[in-house]
Amino acid sequence: MSEPTLGSILSDAGITKVIMIRHANAKPRDLQAASQEVAELDGLQSHRGVLKPGAPFANSWTVGDLTRELTPKGQEQATKAVEWLSEHQVRVVVSSEATRAWATKDIMAPAFPKGGPSAGPGCLTLPMLHPSRSGTPDCEKMFDSLGYGTLKRYFADTSVSGCEGRGEEVFRQYMAKVTTELTEVLITGLPTVEMRSSTGNTVAIFGHAVFLNALAVAVGEAMGIGNAMELVGGMDLGETQGIMCDASAKTIQLCGVYDGGATMR
């Protein structure tokens, strides 16, 4: 018997839409708290900003970034975004473990349990959505240097040492890993979620660009959308915006409220 794939898991559960949603505006990272933990974990090498072995580029922003809370602007963004997300029949929510992702989820998808990554049925946790938990050091290295941007920008980049011209290869490695992780999370979590509710055809995933963009490509391809990379490559995901993969329509599109006030659903 063949191993279940992400596409088959979604299809068998009646999930036809997956929306990758970037968190709302958040407070700056606490560099002092991060530096203190670096000193505790890294001893004399603390000046290098290394927080964990094997991930030298998940540096001073790792701790401070995971614990950043929403700003008043972010709370307002998420509150406004409830309107567009509520038009979809959300059945299950998956979130990064970062505070700002969970806070955004709590506002935008209030029907799902609150309280953090151990909240229980209804919201599942996927740590790999956060840059410092990606499991792909080269992705972390590129993100540390380039920050937010489109996949096309990453793929074309030649400035990051050791990754010159390898952006697509680097992020393909992440796509393969996050697809496996998401599949396992859904296999474990969907039956529990279904005991709560079996309605809804949409999975909402709260996390961080540009990693959500890469996940959108992986999800689109798992759904049989052949030109997923082409469709997602130029998308610049704003705060509380989503990238929606629709298996029925075989489309991938941006949704949410833009800075100019226009809404695309």
- Tokens coding 68: 């950043």
Task: Report the alpha-carbon distance of residue 177 to residue 2 in Å, rounded.
Answer: 19
Residue 79: per-residue pLDDT: 96
What are the CA-CA distances from residue 16 to residues 79, 244, 263 (Å)? 25, 10, 22
Residue 3: per-residue pLDDT: 81
Residue 78: per-residue pLDDT: 96
What domains does the chain contain, in order, with CATH numbers?
A: 6-27+71-264 (3.40.50), 29-67 (no CATH)
In single-letter form, the type of residue at position 185 comes to: V
Residue 37: per-residue pLDDT: 54
Q: Model's pTM, two decimal places?
A: 0.86
Residue 159: per-residue pLDDT: 94
Residue 19: per-residue pLDDT: 98
Q: Where are the alpha helices (DSSP H) in the chain?
A: 6-12, 31-42, 61-66, 72-85, 99-108, 137-146, 151-156, 167-196, 211-222, 228-232
pLDDT, tens digit only, all 265 positions of the chain: 578 899 999 999 999 999 999 999 999 876 665 556 555 555 544 433 334 444 444 444 566 678 889 999 999 999 999 999 999 999 889 999 899 999 999 999 987 765 444 444 468 899 999 988 888 989 988 998 898 899 999 999 999 999 999 999 999 999 999 999 999 999 888 776 655 556 789 999 999 999 999 999 999 999 999 899 999 999 999 999 999 999 999 999 999 976 545 444 4
In single-letter form, the type of residue at position 158 comes to: T
Name the DSSP class of 70: B
